[in-house]
Structure 1
Amino acid sequence: MSASLTLYHSPTSPYVRKVMVLLHETGQLDAVTLRGVQLSPVHPSTELNEHNPAGKIPALVLPDGSVLHDSRVILDYLDHQHQGTPLIPREGPARWRRLTLASLADAMLDAAVLTRYETFLRPEDKRWDDWVLGQFSKIDRSLEVFEQASGELEKHFDVAAISLACALGYLDFRMPDLNWRRDCPRLAAWYSAVSLRPSLQATTPTP
């Protein structure tokens, strides 16, 4: 099958990783051509901006030339393109619960990425410590919720689990001193188990 979709891609982006994990899980890798881009808020990609004015990845170019952006939108689209069990429940309370958990995982990830930008890209004399502490508070509160929901997470590997696994992977990749496992032993056990899935093994970022 020839690839009919183009994904703007960076192997270290946790948002791109979510999409790649879903492609692995649903057997759609052959339908997508990866187009690599390296960017940051201060080093945009002109090519990407032509397709996605927000200048963010992932961005997915469809066969008709239209473009989807934001990982949540792309996940929803791709989940409608395979014949297996949906990874985003189609209706009912399960849909809203799993999407809410996925949204919380994304919020934790957003806070981690913003912290990375503040502490790595911004000049040291312009960094705002209280703002960074506020982002860490969001991460801590989210981790507390997921620690309590660890039993629920074990039941399905779906959009919520994918989003959370990629967020935790980013914490390990960019904030290895955070030591979130100390306060979240059940969540740590869940993550240790799901990290063995081929989809997560194949998409683990490397420095």
Structure 2
Amino acid sequence: MELLGSDASPFVRKARVLVAEAGITDVPYVQVTATPMGGEERLNSANPLGKIPALVRDGGPTIYDSNVVCRFLDDRAQAGLYPAGRLWETLTLEATGDGIMEAAVGIVYEKRLRPEELWWNDWFDAQWLKVTRSLDALERQWMSHLYGPLDMGQVSVACALGYLDLRHGDRDWRGGRDALAAWYKRFAERPSMVATAPE
């Protein structure tokens, strides 16, 4: 079994944090190149969508999409990062983190893959508005869950915030969100987060 991914991807980082937190030692991480315009053949042959992370299994088809990969690995390791007692809250928080990632990655792709004269500023604004609304919701109504026992909702949010620092450091996501910023500062010190931090 192999986990295919790229260090800069927040979706891959989410799976790698789970691997570390669950103490999984038999799933090697393999760096691949992936872009919306087509990644390397090793990835495309494993995942027809060419997206990461992709979990190549010895005894079955490749599993892909970060949520599917994480649920599979959590179940396999019996790590309990999708706790039954608060499953819907965990999944909703995970979806919020993933949504922040999707919007933030969308801005990066628009700038990276299209000529500057074709950049769509309304797109940038709409995607960033999704990010800020989500951050405000986290600050307003999710702090008690974020400070609760570890689950994949927290991991997703932390990886999303780390990606904002990586690719959108010129935007002040912490402004007016002191509680969220304090939580992230503490969470980012976890060994799993330190070990998976992109260069």
Rounded Cα–Cα distance in structure 1 between residues aligned with 2:115 and 2:61: 38
Runs of 4+ in 1 over 6 A off after TM superposition: none
> 1:67-86 counterparts in 2 under 5 A?
67-84=62-79, 86=80
Q: Which residue of 2 aligns with 1:197?
A: 190
The answer on 1:89 being equivalent to 2:83 is: yes
State how far apart, in whole Å, the 1-side matches of 2:71 and 2:196 are: 19
d(CA) in 1 for partners of 2:78 and 2:108?
38
1:17 aligns with 2:13: yes
Which structure 2 residues correspond to residues 52-201 of structure 1 after superposition, within 5 A? 52-84=47-79, 86-90=80-84, 92=85, 94-148=86-140, 149-201=142-194
Q: Which runs of 5+ in 1 are unaligned?
A: none
* Structure 2: unaligned runs, 5 residues or longer: none
> Does 2:47 match 1:44?
no
What CA distance in whole angstroms lies between the structure 1 residues aligned with 2:90 and 2:78?
20
Percent identity of paired positions between Structure 1 and Structure 2: 42
Q: Secondary structure at the match of 1:8?
A: strand
Whole-Å separation in 2 of the counterparts to 1:164 and 1:173: 14
Deviation of the 1:83 alpha carbon? 4.0
* CA deviation profile, 1:67-102 (whole Å, cap 9, x unmatched): 100000011001112244x00023x5x111110111
1:9-37 per-residue CA deviation (whole Å, 9 max, x = no partner) reads: 21111111001000100100x21122211
State the AA in 1 paired with 2:23: G
2 CA distance for matches of 1:143 and 1:104?
9
Distance 1:200 1:35 in 2: 18
Deviation, structure 1 residue 43: 4.0
How many correspondences in the alignment? 198
| Structure 1 letter corresponding to 2:115 | P
How far 1:120 sits from its partner (Å)? 2.6
